[in-house]
């Protein structure tokens, strides 16, 4: 037991270990680059051949990752492939694949389990498997452990298993993969020790917890904390609106208190892969224990209802101008889920577009980070980003500020728009601005 562990520890310490990363998306690609920067050889795996072609050509498919980083990583030891048989070369196998919800808003672990099943014929003794995908407590032990041990390998002796949740925040200028502390929990003590050794070679600080379940619940708590507080402030927004009060002015005033208050800001709904989805992972698992997580579910209901509330504000504003939603020309500003990135996952802006289209509006969008509307499972729009100018802004009945990218010319938009529905609190009160 100690022999296999010792060999792997030596490899991580000497940086002779080969790191295999499965899923080269918003989590996997930055992680692969970071391990290469730290001195490891990395093999990136993905079933999407287009991603592999881009990487091998030195091209990034994310706005916040420069091509130069890909080129540098390739010259320093990054390769990528769709051939899973190469994973036998890797000493660490890190899984970074999506964990969405199905149509019933229940956890969909198919990406995780199918990836593990594709890996099984090639796993060997002397490897460590790490799951980074956000999921409910128990997933690592219930889904990965039996699959790995079905090969005859004993976890904790022949092969090692950890859970280390991703904490990526695309576009965040203050933190990057290297500087974001890494949570890591192992199935056994040996697993835990090796997980710490693996990530310590590339991440500044590794926070070791007692089990994979603790690590899994830690990630959910982080995102549920945000979801609940955003739900609270979204509800406060509706109350403030009814009272004729600007909720953003209230939040900014409250934020001057130097203790006991953290500012969260309302918006048109929740976006990103984590915050709109993760709470439902816990509520689903809690039912197995006979528990109803009412507080979390209520926050989810409030946040999910936000796009409909924005549309009602927009409808009222058009009605006051003797315009129906049907047939009105409406331009949505920003369709990424947050500003200054191109990440479209669970973007409430796109839900706004769909709701408007369902009501018969003529919908366009402008987003410098998303020049062409991408293929999405839930939404289909055959659109390209509209380039803004005074004449273009004047041609729309309503401009919806959905994602507040820094690159928009907000003064020009305000001066030329007939009506602005502001879901981000950017504009001060004006005759042509409606806060939503």
Residue with tokens 């296999």: 4
pLDDT tier at 2, thresholds 50, 70, 90: low
CA distance 23 to 341: 20
What does the pLDDT average to over 270-294?
86
pLDDT at 311: 97
Write out the two tokens for 110: 């198919």
What are the residue ranges of helices labelled H in 255-330?
278-288, 294-320
pLDDT at 428: 84
DSSP H or E stretch at residue 329: strand 329-333
pLDDT at 106: 86
Across the chain, which distance is largest between two alpha carbons, in Å? 78
75-117 pLDDT, tens digit each: 999 999 999 999 999 999 999 999 988 877 889 999 999 999 9
In this predicted structure, the answer to whether residue 131 has a pLDDT above a threshold of 90 is yes
171-192 pLDDT, tens digit each: 788 889 999 999 999 999 999 9
CA distance 367 to 373: 10
pLDDT at 7: 95
Taking alpha carbons only, the member of 262, 51, 263, 22 closest to residue 120 is 22
Same fold for the pair 2-212 and 247-435? yes
What does the pLDDT average to over 316-339?
96
How far lies 411's CA from each of 56, 129, 143, 336, 341, in Å? 42, 52, 53, 21, 22
Write out the two tokens for 319: 């009605």
pLDDT at 317: 97
Alpha-carbon 379 to chain mean position? 18
Q: Any idea where the domains of the chain sit in the sequence?
A: 2-212, 247-435
What does the pLDDT average to over 323-339?
96
Beta bridge partners of 206: 182
What SS3 state is found at 83? coil
Transcribe 401-429 into DSSP letters: E-S--TTS-HHHHHHH-S-EEESS--SPP
pLDDT tier at 275, thresholds 50, 70, 90: confident
pLDDT at 365: 98
410-419 pLDDT, tens digit each: 999 999 999 9
Beta bridge partners of 131: 95, 163
pLDDT at 218: 97
User: Domain 247-435 sits in which CATH superfamily?
Assistant: NAD(P)-binding Rossmann-like Domain (3.40.50.720)
CA distance 414 to 123: 59
pLDDT tier at 339, thresholds 50, 70, 90: very high
pLDDT at 306: 95
What does the pLDDT average to over 202-221?
97
pLDDT at 312: 97
How many CB atoms lie under 10 A from the CB of residue 216?
Answer: 28
Sign of CA dihedral 169, 173, 178, 181: negative
Beta strands in 82-234 (DSSP E): 92-95, 128-131, 160-163, 182-186, 206-209
What does the pLDDT average to over 41-68?
94
What does the pLDDT average to over 148-171?
94
CA distance 414 to 401: 11
How many CB atoms lie under 10 A from the CB of residue 63?
Answer: 16
Q: Are the CB atoms for 136 and 213 separated by under 8 Å? A: no
In this predicted structure, the answer to whether residue 212 has a pLDDT above a threshold of 90 is yes
Active site residues: 274
Q: Of all residues in the chain, what percent carry a pLDDT higher than 70? A: 99
pLDDT at 276: 76
CA distance 63 to 65: 6
pLDDT at 270: 83
Alpha-carbon 279 to chain mean position? 14
What does the pLDDT average to over 116-143?
97
Q: Are the CB atoms for 331 and 399 separated by under 8 Å? A: yes
pLDDT at 242: 95
CA distance 180 to 169: 9
In this predicted structure, the answer to whether residue 383 has a pLDDT above a threshold of 60 is yes
In this predicted structure, the answer to whether residue 1 has a pLDDT above a threshold of 70 is no
Write out the two tokens for 138: 């128990």
Taking alpha carbons only, the member of 299, 262, 263 closest to residue 279 is 299
What does the pLDDT average to over 107-130?
96
Long-range Cβ contact pairs of 315-324 (< 8 A, separation 24 or more): 315/359, 317/398, 317/419, 317/421, 317/434, 318/397, 318/398, 318/419, 321/397, 321/418, 321/419, 323/397, 324/360
What does the pLDDT average to over 392-398?
98
For 413, residues 6+ apart whose C-beta sits below 8 A from its C-beta are 333, 388, 393, 399, 420
Q: Which CATH architecture has domain 2-212?
A: 3-Layer(aba) Sandwich (3.40)
């Amino acid at each position: 037991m100690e022999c296999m562990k010792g060999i792997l520890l030596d490899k991580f310490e000497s940086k002779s270990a080969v790191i295999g990363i499965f899923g080269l998306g918003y989590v996997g690609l930055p992680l692969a680059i970071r391990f290469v920067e730290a001195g490891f050889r990395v093999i990136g795996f993905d079933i999407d051949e287009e991603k592999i072609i881009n990487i091998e050509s030195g091209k990034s498919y994310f706005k916040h990752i420069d091509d130069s980083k890909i080129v540098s990583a390739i010259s320093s030891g990054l390769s990528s492939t769709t051939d899973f048989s190469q994973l036998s070369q890797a000493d660490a196998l890190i899984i970074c694949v999506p964990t969405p919800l199905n149509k019933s808003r229940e956890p969909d672990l198919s990406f995780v389990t199918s990836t593990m099943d594709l890996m099984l014929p090639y796993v060997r003794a002397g490897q460590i498997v790490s799951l980074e995908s956000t999921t409910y407590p128990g997933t690592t032990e219930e889904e990965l452990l039996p699959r790995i041990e079905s090969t005859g390998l004993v976890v904790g002796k022949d092969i090692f298993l950890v859970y280390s949740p991703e904490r990526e925040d695309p576009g965040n200028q203050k933190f990057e993969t290297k500087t974001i502390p890494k949570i890591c929990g192992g199935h056994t003590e040996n697993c835990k020790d090796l997980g710490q050794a693996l990530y310590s070679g590339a991440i500044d600080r590794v926070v070791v917890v007692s089990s994979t379940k603790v690590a899994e619940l830690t990630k959910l708590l982080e995102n549920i904390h945000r979801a609940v507080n955003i739900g609270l402030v979204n509800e406060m927004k509706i109350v403030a609106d009814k009272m004729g009060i600007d909720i953003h002015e209230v939040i900014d005033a409250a934020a001057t208190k130097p203790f006991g208050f953290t500012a969260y800001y309302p918006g048109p709904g929740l976006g990103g892969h984590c915050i709109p989805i993760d709470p439902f992972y816990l509520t689903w698992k809690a039912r197995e224990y006979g528990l109803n997580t009412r507080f979390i579910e209520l926050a989810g209901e409030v946040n999910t209802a936000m796009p409909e509330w924005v549309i009602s504000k927009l409808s009222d504003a058009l009605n006051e101008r003797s315009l129906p939603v049907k047939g009105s020309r409406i331009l949505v500003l920003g369709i990424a889920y947050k500003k200054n990135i191109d990440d479209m996952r669970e973007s409430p802006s796109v839900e706004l577009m769909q709701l408007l289209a369902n009501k018969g509006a003529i919908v366009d969008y402008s987003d410098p980070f998303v020049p062409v509307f991408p293929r999405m499972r839930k939404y289909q729009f055959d659109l390209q980003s509209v380039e803004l100018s005074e004449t273009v802004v004047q041609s729309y009945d309503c401009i919806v500020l959905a994602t507040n990218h820094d690159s928009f010319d907000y003064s020009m938009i305000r001066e030329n728009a007939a009506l602005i529905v502001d879901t981000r609190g950017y504009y001060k009160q004006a005759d042509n601005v409606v806060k939503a």
